[in-house]
């Protein structure tokens, strides 16, 4: 009987560890999937838009922007937290390449331009928490002239920040 009793105790003792590993593995797998969806989304959606680029002699100058991700720049990490509500935090970092056309006087001219003459890069950092089995975005930031700034969602997606692809939906 002690042998059978010892086996039951051993199974009970290992059960919480087994569940914890399963939760960790599930969180990690789902975050990897989120990263893959996010990166792959740029292949089919370059978030192309016309933006105000300058004001010259009270004249608004417009240019078209096109966004892509440098696939070699993508890094991510998932960490355990001390929170019962959000037991994991995931961070996705990547570089967005922004290609820009020459500046134009009208929306129509800018929208019709297909020659991208300028390029710059912006590093992005998107942070998520794992709640109720799903990843929820908490902060999205990007570098602007070397300074980290929050992504602002007004009428468009500045520097490729607005991301319908980066949550568990």
Q: Any idea where the domains of the chain sit in the sequence?
A: 2-160
**Percentage with pLDDT > 70 across the chain:** 77
Average pLDDT over residues 35-54: 89
**Chain segment 85-127, per-residue pLDDT in tens:** 999 999 999 999 999 999 999 999 999 999 999 999 999 999 9
* Residue-level pLDDT at 156: 47
Long-range contacts of 103-107 (CB under 8 A, 24+ apart): 103/53, 103/54, 103/61, 103/62, 103/63, 104/61, 104/62, 104/63, 105/59, 105/61, 105/62, 106/62, 107/50, 107/62
DSSP 87: -
* Residue-level pLDDT at 14: 58
Asked if residues 91 and 74 have their Cβ atoms less than 8 Å apart, the reply is: no
- Reported confidence tier of residue 25, pLDDT bands at 50, 70, 90: very high
């Amino acid at each position: 009987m002690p042998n059978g009793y010892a086996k039951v105790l051993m199974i009970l003792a290992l059960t919480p560890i087994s569940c914890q590993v399963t939760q960790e593995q599930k969180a990690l797998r789902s975050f990897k999937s989120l990263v893959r969806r996010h990166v792959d989304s740029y292949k089919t959606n370059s978030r192309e838009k016309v933006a105000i680029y300058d004001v010259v002699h009270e004249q608004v100058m417009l240019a078209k922007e096109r966004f892509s991700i440098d696939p070699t720049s993508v890094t991510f990490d998932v960490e355990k937290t001390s929170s019962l509500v959000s037991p994991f935090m995931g961070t996705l970092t990547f570089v967005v390449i922004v290609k820009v056309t020459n500046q134009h006087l009208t929306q129509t001219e800018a929208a019709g331009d297909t020659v991208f003459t300028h390029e710059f890069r912006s590093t992005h950092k998107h942070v998520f928490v794992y709640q109720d089995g799903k990843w929820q975005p908490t902060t999205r930031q990007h570098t602007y002239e070397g300074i980290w700034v929050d992504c602002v969602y007004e009428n468009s997606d500045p520097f490729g920040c607005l991301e319908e692809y980066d949550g568990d939906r």
